[in-house]
Amino acid sequence: MKMRAIFPLFVIVLFSLLALFAPEIAALLHIHGDTADLAARFLPPSQKHIFGTDELGRDIFVRLLYGGRVSLGVGFTAAAAAAFLGTAIGLLSGYKGGWTDALLMRLTDLLIALPLLPLLVILSAVDVKKLGLPGGVDASFYKIVLLVGLTGWAMTARLVRARALTLREMDFVTAARALGVRPLRLVLRHILPNLMDTVRVAAALSVGNFILLESVLSFLGFGIQPPLPSWGNMLTGAEDAIWTHASVTVYPGMMIFFTVLAFNFLADGLQSGKRA
């Protein structure tokens, strides 16, 4: 891994660990992130409230940690689903060629051409219970992961297909085919391992993009629903106070900005390492 990927990876690991241990950190600070205290609205940063309090008197720092669990969870889970689908479709398309390639790539082109944000806004109105998904507080999380994962695989499929088209004509693949290696084994043992660098770069970019997409949907009111916190709906709650108490919007905005930037720099570092 190139040195330029080390620092963004450190930032991602740090934010992930803070989110993972949010309950323990909240217990250590003796703060419950969902407890509203209207008498403590918009308190400035202090020893008890590191980043101050929001419009309902809730601790911003603790809510950022819990919001990170949701936003990062959406990013990682949806990116994993998109990487799996995109790799499978791109690999099948690139290796098989012919009508299979044409059909799958036209489907991919159609998905790329669709305006993703309006599409997700429309699909977010679907009742998750009718899809067999759990209801309750976490329903919006499952819905966003499902929608983003099922609509976000197209660019990965394109990249994987391009790489697979190159690999299938290389000498080691030709030699394996001449030795009678079956197509499935040939794909899984010889082609797939050699395009995993491409998948890793695409997945790193996808995580950042999906976190940003979840934040936009949540800000518009179509993503993660309260009381479940996310960085996006923390911005929604602070929208009315942006001119009087700007700090309540700065902190979640900075978390989104630095996290997405870290994933983009990580993808750039992985890409540079692959070229080296």
pLDDT per residue over 80-92, tens digit each?
999 999 999 999 9
* Stretch 204-217: mean pLDDT: 92
In a domain, 192, yes or no: yes
Domain assignment present for residue 44? The answer is no
Which among 22, 5, 18, 12 is positioned nearest to 260, based on CA atoms? 12
Structure tokens at 146: 């499902």
Which residues constitute the domain of residue 55? 3-39+49-275
Q: What is the C-alpha end-to-end distance of the chain, expressed in Å?
A: 10
Tell me: pLDDT of 17 over 60.
yes
Tokens of 117: 């944000």
Residue 98: which pLDDT band, with cuts at 50, 70 and 90?
Answer: confident
Q: Can you tell me the mean pLDDT for 197-219?
A: 92
Over residues 132-146, mean pLDDT: 75
Nearest to 211 by CA among 67, 20, 26, 60: 67
Q: Considering only 3-7, 133-137, 256-260, which range has the smallest mean pLDDT?
A: 133-137
Confirm if 90 and 158 have CB atoms less than 8 A apart.
Answer: yes
pLDDT confidence of residue 127: 66
For 225, phi then psi, to 5°, come to -100, 140
Q: Tell me: cis bond preceding 183? Omega within 30 of 0 counts.
A: no
Pairwise CA distance, residues 250 & 26, whole Å: 21
Is 31 a member of any domain? Answer: yes
Region 4-22: mean pLDDT is 92
pLDDT band at 129 (very low <50, low <70, confident <90, very high): low
In eight-state DSSP terms, residue 105 is: H
Largest CA-CA distance found in the chain, in angstroms, rounded: 77
Instruction: Compute the average pLDDT of residues 130-159.
Output: 81
Residue 17 or 236, more confident:
17
The one-letter amino acid code at 172 reads F
Whether pLDDT at 121 is above 60: yes
Residues 58 and 35 sit within 8 Å (Cβ to Cβ): yes
Percent of the chain with pLDDT over 70: 92
* Model confidence band, residue 132 (pLDDT cutoffs 50, 70, 90): low
Residue 198: strand pairing partners: none
| Tens-digit pLDDT profile for residues 51-91 | 988 888 899 999 999 999 999 999 999 999 999 999 999 99
Question: Buried (b) or exposed (e) across 45-81, using 16+ Cβ within 10 A?
Answer: eeeebebbbbbebbbbbbbbbbbbbbbbbbbbbbbeb
215 lies in a domain? yes
In the predicted structure, residue 126 carries a pLDDT above the cut 80: no
Of 33-37, 74-78, 114-118, 149-153, the range with the lowest mean pLDDT is 33-37
Is 151 within 8 Å of 111 (Cβ atoms)? yes
Q: Is there a domain that residue 78 lies in? A: yes
Please report the DSSP string for 117-148 in residue order. HHHHHHHTTS-GGGGT---STTHHHHHHHHHH
In a domain, 25, yes or no: yes
* Position 176 pLDDT exceeds 80: yes
Spatial contact of 269 and 11, defined as CB atoms under 8 Å apart: no
192 with 224: CB under 8 angstroms?
A: no
Measure the CA–CA gap between 70 and 214, rounded to whole angstroms. 10
In a domain, 208, yes or no: yes
Mean pLDDT (the chain) is: 87
The two three-digit tokens of residue 86, written as one number: 């995109």
What is the pLDDT averaged over residues 231-246? 80
**Predicted local distance difference test score (pLDDT) of residue 74:** 94
Tell me what percent of the residues of the chain surpass a pLDDT of 90. 42
Looking at the structure of the chain, the number of domains it has is 1
CATH number at residue 235: 1.10.3720.10
Residues 132 and 211: their CA atoms lie apart, in Å, by: 25
- Flag whether 146 is in a domain: yes
Statement: residue 256 has pLDDT above 80 = yes
What's residue 68's pLDDT? 94
pLDDT score at 2: 60
Give the C-alpha separation, 11 to 123, whole Å: 33
Q: Give the predicted TM-score (pTM) of the model.
A: 0.89
Residue 195 zone, left/alpha/beta (φ > 0; ψ -120 to 50; rest): alpha
